[in-house]
Amino acid sequence: MAAMHLTRRAFALASAALAAGPSAAEQAKRPLVIAHRGASGERPEHTLMAYRLAVEEGADFIEPDLVVTKDGHLVVRHENEIGGTTDVAARPEFAARKQVKVIDGETLEGWFAEDFTLAELKTLRARERMPRLRPASAAFDGREAVPTFQEVMDLAKMESRRAGRPIGVYPEMKHPTYMASIGLPMEQRLADALKAGGLNSRTAPVFVQCFEAGPLKAFSKLSRARRIQLVGQDRPQMTTAEGLRAIAAYADGVGPDWPLIIPTRDGRLNPASNLVADAHALGLAVHPWTVRAENRYLPAALRKGEDPAAHGDVAAVFRALYAAGVDGVFTDFPKLGVAARG
Protein backbone atom coordinates (compact mmCIF):
# COMPACT_ATOMS: atom_id res chain seq x y z
CA MET A 1 0.00 0.00 0.00
CA ALA A 2 2.81 2.40 0.87
CA ALA A 3 4.55 1.65 -2.42
CA MET A 4 1.31 2.30 -4.30
CA HIS A 5 0.92 5.62 -2.46
CA LEU A 6 4.42 6.68 -3.44
CA THR A 7 3.83 5.69 -7.05
CA ARG A 8 0.66 7.74 -7.22
CA ARG A 9 2.35 10.69 -5.56
CA ALA A 10 5.32 10.57 -7.93
CA PHE A 11 2.93 10.29 -10.87
CA ALA A 12 0.93 13.28 -9.68
CA LEU A 13 4.02 15.41 -9.12
CA ALA A 14 5.43 14.59 -12.51
CA SER A 15 2.12 15.24 -14.22
CA ALA A 16 1.93 18.77 -12.84
CA ALA A 17 4.28 19.75 -15.64
CA LEU A 18 1.45 19.10 -18.08
CA ALA A 19 -0.76 21.92 -16.79
CA ALA A 20 -0.62 23.71 -20.19
CA GLY A 21 -1.81 27.03 -18.84
CA PRO A 22 -0.99 30.34 -20.53
CA SER A 23 1.43 31.67 -17.91
CA ALA A 24 4.90 32.77 -19.01
CA ALA A 25 6.44 29.61 -17.59
CA GLU A 26 3.97 27.38 -19.39
CA GLN A 27 4.37 29.27 -22.65
CA ALA A 28 8.07 28.52 -22.54
CA LYS A 29 7.28 24.81 -22.57
CA ARG A 30 6.50 22.81 -25.66
CA PRO A 31 2.83 22.41 -26.59
CA LEU A 32 1.08 19.14 -25.84
CA VAL A 33 0.53 16.53 -28.52
CA ILE A 34 -2.91 15.04 -27.90
CA ALA A 35 -3.60 11.72 -29.61
CA HIS A 36 -7.07 12.11 -31.08
CA ARG A 37 -8.82 8.80 -30.38
CA GLY A 38 -5.32 7.36 -30.07
CA ALA A 39 -3.06 7.08 -33.12
CA SER A 40 -6.29 6.87 -35.08
CA GLY A 41 -4.67 7.54 -38.43
CA GLU A 42 -2.84 4.23 -38.11
CA ARG A 43 -5.04 1.96 -35.98
CA PRO A 44 -8.83 1.64 -35.53
CA GLU A 45 -9.88 4.57 -33.37
CA HIS A 46 -10.51 4.21 -29.65
CA THR A 47 -8.78 0.86 -29.32
CA LEU A 48 -6.15 0.07 -26.74
CA MET A 49 -3.70 -0.63 -29.56
CA ALA A 50 -4.30 2.86 -30.95
CA TYR A 51 -3.60 4.39 -27.53
CA ARG A 52 -0.44 2.33 -26.99
CA LEU A 53 0.91 3.31 -30.40
CA ALA A 54 0.19 6.97 -29.63
CA VAL A 55 2.29 6.76 -26.49
CA GLU A 56 5.09 5.02 -28.38
CA GLU A 57 5.03 7.88 -30.87
CA GLY A 58 5.44 10.48 -28.13
CA ALA A 59 1.91 11.69 -27.38
CA ASP A 60 1.42 13.51 -24.07
CA PHE A 61 -2.32 12.81 -23.80
CA ILE A 62 -4.67 10.19 -25.20
CA GLU A 63 -8.28 11.07 -25.95
CA PRO A 64 -11.22 8.77 -25.16
CA ASP A 65 -14.70 9.86 -26.29
CA LEU A 66 -17.28 8.67 -23.79
CA VAL A 67 -20.78 7.25 -24.19
CA VAL A 68 -22.90 5.26 -21.72
CA THR A 69 -24.12 1.68 -21.94
CA LYS A 70 -27.62 0.50 -21.11
CA ASP A 71 -26.40 -0.62 -17.70
CA GLY A 72 -24.61 2.63 -16.93
CA HIS A 73 -20.96 2.02 -17.82
CA LEU A 74 -18.74 4.61 -19.51
CA VAL A 75 -17.33 3.14 -22.71
CA VAL A 76 -15.13 4.62 -25.38
CA ARG A 77 -16.65 5.31 -28.80
CA HIS A 78 -16.59 8.40 -30.99
CA GLU A 79 -20.38 8.39 -31.14
CA ASN A 80 -23.13 6.46 -29.43
CA GLU A 81 -23.97 5.06 -32.89
CA ILE A 82 -21.60 2.10 -33.11
CA GLY A 83 -22.36 0.68 -36.55
CA GLY A 84 -19.46 2.53 -38.14
CA THR A 85 -16.79 1.48 -35.65
CA THR A 86 -17.70 -2.10 -34.70
CA ASP A 87 -18.81 -5.30 -36.42
CA VAL A 88 -22.32 -5.08 -34.95
CA ALA A 89 -23.92 -4.98 -38.43
CA ALA A 90 -22.54 -8.45 -39.10
CA ARG A 91 -23.90 -9.90 -35.84
CA PRO A 92 -27.31 -11.49 -36.47
CA GLU A 93 -28.10 -11.68 -32.77
CA PHE A 94 -28.25 -7.88 -32.70
CA ALA A 95 -30.03 -7.27 -36.02
CA ALA A 96 -33.27 -6.31 -34.27
CA ARG A 97 -31.50 -3.54 -32.33
CA LYS A 98 -31.01 -1.44 -35.46
CA GLN A 99 -33.21 1.63 -35.30
CA VAL A 100 -33.59 5.29 -36.17
CA LYS A 101 -32.98 7.94 -33.53
CA VAL A 102 -32.74 11.70 -33.39
CA ILE A 103 -29.56 12.69 -31.54
CA ASP A 104 -29.07 16.40 -30.93
CA GLY A 105 -31.28 17.23 -33.88
CA GLU A 106 -29.65 14.77 -36.30
CA THR A 107 -31.54 11.72 -37.57
CA LEU A 108 -29.35 8.62 -37.43
CA GLU A 109 -29.96 4.99 -38.33
CA GLY A 110 -27.88 2.28 -36.76
CA TRP A 111 -27.02 0.59 -33.49
CA PHE A 112 -26.57 2.63 -30.34
CA ALA A 113 -24.39 2.00 -27.30
CA GLU A 114 -27.17 2.87 -24.87
CA ASP A 115 -29.17 -0.12 -26.14
CA PHE A 116 -26.44 -2.61 -25.20
CA THR A 117 -25.17 -3.80 -21.85
CA LEU A 118 -21.44 -3.71 -21.28
CA ALA A 119 -21.27 -7.49 -21.56
CA GLU A 120 -22.99 -7.35 -24.94
CA LEU A 121 -20.72 -4.58 -26.20
CA LYS A 122 -17.68 -6.59 -25.17
CA THR A 123 -18.68 -9.31 -27.64
CA LEU A 124 -18.25 -6.84 -30.53
CA ARG A 125 -14.97 -6.05 -32.25
CA ALA A 126 -13.69 -2.64 -33.30
CA ARG A 127 -13.02 -1.71 -36.89
CA GLU A 128 -11.66 1.21 -38.91
CA ARG A 129 -14.30 3.87 -39.49
CA MET A 130 -12.83 5.06 -42.82
CA PRO A 131 -11.38 1.95 -44.49
CA ARG A 132 -11.06 3.48 -47.95
CA LEU A 133 -9.10 6.42 -46.63
CA ARG A 134 -7.08 4.36 -44.14
CA PRO A 135 -6.75 0.82 -45.50
CA ALA A 136 -3.56 0.15 -43.51
CA SER A 137 -5.51 0.79 -40.32
CA ALA A 138 -8.37 -1.40 -41.53
CA ALA A 139 -5.93 -4.32 -41.60
CA PHE A 140 -6.26 -4.32 -37.80
CA ASP A 141 -10.06 -4.71 -37.85
CA GLY A 142 -11.49 -7.27 -35.47
CA ARG A 143 -8.51 -7.53 -33.15
CA GLU A 144 -9.86 -5.66 -30.14
CA ALA A 145 -13.03 -5.07 -28.17
CA VAL A 146 -14.64 -1.77 -27.20
CA PRO A 147 -12.71 -0.47 -24.16
CA THR A 148 -14.22 0.98 -21.03
CA PHE A 149 -13.06 4.34 -19.73
CA GLN A 150 -11.56 2.53 -16.76
CA GLU A 151 -9.43 0.44 -19.11
CA VAL A 152 -8.13 3.59 -20.82
CA MET A 153 -7.27 5.22 -17.50
CA ASP A 154 -5.49 2.04 -16.44
CA LEU A 155 -3.58 1.98 -19.72
CA ALA A 156 -2.47 5.59 -19.25
CA LYS A 157 -1.06 4.78 -15.82
CA MET A 158 0.70 1.65 -17.04
CA GLU A 159 2.14 3.47 -20.04
CA SER A 160 3.29 6.30 -17.76
CA ARG A 161 5.36 3.83 -15.79
CA ARG A 162 6.68 2.12 -18.90
CA ALA A 163 7.55 5.35 -20.72
CA GLY A 164 8.93 7.09 -17.63
CA ARG A 165 6.75 10.14 -18.22
CA PRO A 166 3.16 11.08 -17.37
CA ILE A 167 0.56 10.16 -19.98
CA GLY A 168 -2.63 12.14 -19.56
CA VAL A 169 -6.22 11.32 -20.47
CA TYR A 170 -8.49 13.79 -22.23
CA PRO A 171 -12.08 12.44 -22.10
CA GLU A 172 -14.89 14.02 -24.06
CA MET A 173 -18.50 13.80 -22.92
CA LYS A 174 -20.45 12.90 -26.07
CA HIS A 175 -24.07 14.04 -26.31
CA PRO A 176 -24.49 14.44 -22.54
CA THR A 177 -27.83 16.25 -22.76
CA TYR A 178 -29.25 13.45 -24.87
CA MET A 179 -27.81 10.85 -22.51
CA ALA A 180 -29.44 12.60 -19.55
CA SER A 181 -32.76 12.67 -21.42
CA ILE A 182 -32.80 8.87 -21.57
CA GLY A 183 -31.84 8.44 -17.92
CA LEU A 184 -28.09 7.96 -18.38
CA PRO A 185 -26.49 11.24 -17.24
CA MET A 186 -22.73 11.37 -17.72
CA GLU A 187 -21.39 14.11 -15.48
CA GLN A 188 -21.53 12.32 -12.12
CA ARG A 189 -20.34 9.05 -13.64
CA LEU A 190 -17.29 10.78 -15.11
CA ALA A 191 -16.57 12.72 -11.91
CA ASP A 192 -16.75 9.51 -9.86
CA ALA A 193 -14.44 7.69 -12.28
CA LEU A 194 -11.85 10.45 -12.14
CA LYS A 195 -11.96 10.56 -8.35
CA ALA A 196 -11.52 6.80 -8.13
CA GLY A 197 -8.60 7.07 -10.56
CA GLY A 198 -6.81 9.76 -8.57
CA LEU A 199 -7.53 12.40 -11.23
CA ASN A 200 -9.65 14.84 -9.24
CA SER A 201 -7.28 17.79 -9.04
CA ARG A 202 -6.12 20.86 -10.94
CA THR A 203 -2.71 19.33 -11.57
CA ALA A 204 -3.83 15.83 -12.48
CA PRO A 205 -2.99 14.77 -16.06
CA VAL A 206 -6.56 15.15 -17.27
CA PHE A 207 -8.74 17.56 -19.20
CA VAL A 208 -12.50 17.08 -19.64
CA GLN A 209 -13.93 18.42 -22.88
CA CYS A 210 -17.39 18.93 -24.30
CA PHE A 211 -19.14 20.87 -27.06
CA GLU A 212 -22.08 21.55 -24.72
CA ALA A 213 -21.59 24.34 -22.20
CA GLY A 214 -24.34 23.26 -19.78
CA PRO A 215 -22.92 19.83 -18.97
CA LEU A 216 -19.44 21.30 -18.66
CA LYS A 217 -20.75 23.81 -16.12
CA ALA A 218 -22.51 21.03 -14.22
CA PHE A 219 -19.33 18.95 -14.23
CA SER A 220 -17.38 21.88 -12.74
CA LYS A 221 -19.42 21.47 -9.54
CA LEU A 222 -18.57 17.77 -9.29
CA SER A 223 -14.85 17.64 -10.02
CA ARG A 224 -11.69 19.75 -9.82
CA ALA A 225 -10.42 18.37 -13.13
CA ARG A 226 -9.67 21.01 -15.74
CA ARG A 227 -12.33 21.67 -18.37
CA ILE A 228 -12.13 22.59 -22.06
CA GLN A 229 -14.97 24.09 -24.10
CA LEU A 230 -14.93 22.70 -27.63
CA VAL A 231 -15.87 25.06 -30.45
CA GLY A 232 -16.65 24.24 -34.07
CA GLN A 233 -16.53 26.53 -37.06
CA ASP A 234 -20.32 26.73 -36.92
CA ARG A 235 -20.09 28.72 -33.66
CA PRO A 236 -17.47 31.42 -34.32
CA GLN A 237 -19.19 33.75 -31.84
CA MET A 238 -17.74 31.64 -29.04
CA THR A 239 -14.22 32.63 -30.07
CA THR A 240 -14.82 36.37 -30.04
CA ALA A 241 -13.46 38.35 -27.09
CA GLU A 242 -16.94 38.35 -25.55
CA GLY A 243 -17.45 34.65 -26.20
CA LEU A 244 -14.11 33.76 -24.66
CA ARG A 245 -14.92 35.80 -21.55
CA ALA A 246 -18.07 33.74 -21.12
CA ILE A 247 -16.09 30.51 -21.47
CA ALA A 248 -13.53 31.68 -18.92
CA ALA A 249 -16.30 31.77 -16.30
CA TYR A 250 -16.63 27.97 -16.27
CA ALA A 251 -13.72 26.43 -18.22
CA ASP A 252 -9.94 26.39 -18.16
CA GLY A 253 -9.45 26.41 -21.88
CA VAL A 254 -10.95 26.37 -25.33
CA GLY A 255 -10.67 23.70 -28.00
CA PRO A 256 -11.37 25.31 -31.38
CA ASP A 257 -11.42 23.70 -34.81
CA TRP A 258 -7.90 24.56 -36.00
CA PRO A 259 -8.93 26.82 -38.94
CA LEU A 260 -10.40 29.21 -36.35
CA ILE A 261 -6.76 29.86 -35.41
CA ILE A 262 -5.10 29.49 -38.82
CA PRO A 263 -7.76 30.44 -41.40
CA THR A 264 -7.68 28.72 -44.77
CA ARG A 265 -8.62 30.94 -47.70
CA ASP A 266 -7.90 30.42 -51.40
CA GLY A 267 -6.61 26.95 -50.56
CA ARG A 268 -3.80 28.28 -48.39
CA LEU A 269 -2.92 28.83 -44.76
CA ASN A 270 -3.44 32.45 -43.80
CA PRO A 271 -2.01 34.52 -40.92
CA ALA A 272 -3.17 33.54 -37.46
CA SER A 273 -6.29 35.05 -35.95
CA ASN A 274 -6.33 36.76 -32.56
CA LEU A 275 -7.92 33.75 -30.88
CA VAL A 276 -4.83 32.47 -29.06
CA ALA A 277 -3.80 35.91 -27.79
CA ASP A 278 -7.35 36.73 -26.68
CA ALA A 279 -7.73 33.39 -24.90
CA HIS A 280 -4.38 33.65 -23.15
CA ALA A 281 -5.24 37.14 -21.95
CA LEU A 282 -8.17 35.56 -20.11
CA GLY A 283 -6.11 32.72 -18.65
CA LEU A 284 -7.49 30.13 -21.07
CA ALA A 285 -5.39 27.35 -22.58
CA VAL A 286 -5.90 26.70 -26.31
CA HIS A 287 -5.99 23.13 -27.69
CA PRO A 288 -7.14 23.10 -31.35
CA TRP A 289 -8.46 20.03 -33.18
CA THR A 290 -7.93 17.96 -35.33
CA VAL A 291 -4.81 17.94 -37.51
CA ARG A 292 -4.89 15.09 -40.03
CA ALA A 293 -2.27 14.19 -42.61
CA GLU A 294 -4.42 13.10 -45.56
CA ASN A 295 -4.96 15.36 -48.57
CA ARG A 296 -8.68 15.16 -47.92
CA TYR A 297 -8.27 17.26 -44.76
CA LEU A 298 -5.67 19.77 -45.99
CA PRO A 299 -6.05 23.03 -47.93
CA ALA A 300 -5.28 22.67 -51.64
CA ALA A 301 -1.83 24.28 -51.47
CA LEU A 302 -0.65 21.62 -48.99
CA ARG A 303 -1.90 18.57 -50.87
CA LYS A 304 0.47 16.21 -52.64
CA GLY A 305 -1.04 14.49 -55.66
CA GLU A 306 -4.69 13.73 -56.33
CA ASP A 307 -5.24 10.78 -54.00
CA PRO A 308 -7.40 11.91 -51.04
CA ALA A 309 -5.70 9.29 -48.85
CA ALA A 310 -2.15 10.41 -49.65
CA HIS A 311 -0.36 12.48 -47.07
CA GLY A 312 0.22 16.14 -47.80
CA ASP A 313 2.33 18.79 -46.12
CA VAL A 314 0.67 18.44 -42.73
CA ALA A 315 3.86 19.65 -41.02
CA ALA A 316 3.00 23.13 -42.27
CA VAL A 317 -0.24 23.05 -40.29
CA PHE A 318 1.52 21.92 -37.13
CA ARG A 319 4.21 24.59 -37.51
CA ALA A 320 1.64 27.34 -38.05
CA LEU A 321 -0.31 26.32 -34.95
CA TYR A 322 2.81 26.03 -32.82
CA ALA A 323 3.99 29.44 -34.05
CA ALA A 324 0.59 30.89 -33.11
CA GLY A 325 1.29 29.90 -29.49
CA VAL A 326 -1.22 27.10 -28.94
CA ASP A 327 -0.85 25.05 -25.77
CA GLY A 328 -1.61 21.73 -27.40
CA VAL A 329 -2.82 20.14 -30.65
CA PHE A 330 -5.15 17.22 -31.30
CA THR A 331 -3.99 14.96 -34.10
CA ASP A 332 -4.71 11.53 -35.56
CA PHE A 333 -0.96 11.21 -36.22
CA PRO A 334 0.90 11.94 -32.98
CA LYS A 335 4.25 10.95 -34.47
CA LEU A 336 3.94 13.75 -37.01
CA GLY A 337 2.88 16.25 -34.36
CA VAL A 338 5.88 15.35 -32.21
CA ALA A 339 8.24 15.60 -35.19
CA ALA A 340 6.94 19.03 -36.22
CA ARG A 341 7.25 20.24 -32.63
CA GLY A 342 10.93 19.37 -32.74
- What is the four-CA torsion angle of 86, 190, 282, 321, rounded to 10 degrees? -20
- The pLDDT, as a whole number, for residue 72 is 98
User: For residue 86, which of 130, 145, 37 has the smallest C-alpha distance?
Assistant: 145
Long-range contacts of the stretch 262-268 (C-beta < 8 A, 24+): 262/317, 262/320, 262/321, 262/324, 264/299, 267/299, 267/300, 267/301, 268/299, 268/300, 268/301
Q: How far apart are CA 85 and CA 75, in angstroms?
A: 13
Residue 328, beta-bridge partner list: 32
For residues 283 and 249, is the Cβ–Cβ distance under 8 A?
A: no
Conformation bin of residue 64: beta by default, left when phi > 0, alpha when psi is -120 to 50: beta
- The pLDDT, as a whole number, for residue 125 is 98
DSSP state of 31: P
Q: How far apart are CA 236 and CA 278, in angstroms?
A: 14
For the cut 90, the answer to whether the pLDDT of residue 292 exceeds it is yes
Domain ranges of the chain: 20-79+146-341
Weakest mean pLDDT among 14-18, 119-123, 247-251, 338-342: 14-18
Mean pLDDT of 234-249: 97
Active site residues: 36, 78
For the cut 50, the answer to whether the pLDDT of residue 4 exceeds it is no
For residues 33 and 328, is the Cβ–Cβ distance under 8 A?
A: yes
- The pLDDT, as a whole number, for residue 20 is 42
Query: Percentage of the chain with pLDDT > 70?
Result: 92
> At 91, phi and psi to the nearest 5?
-105, 105
For the cut 70, the answer to whether the pLDDT of residue 10 exceeds it is no
- The pLDDT, as a whole number, for residue 29 is 80
- pTM as predicted: 0.91
Q: Which amino acid is it at 166? A: P
- The pLDDT, as a whole number, for residue 19 is 45
CATH superfamily of 20-79+146-341: Phosphatidylinositol (PI) phosphodiesterase (3.20.20.190)
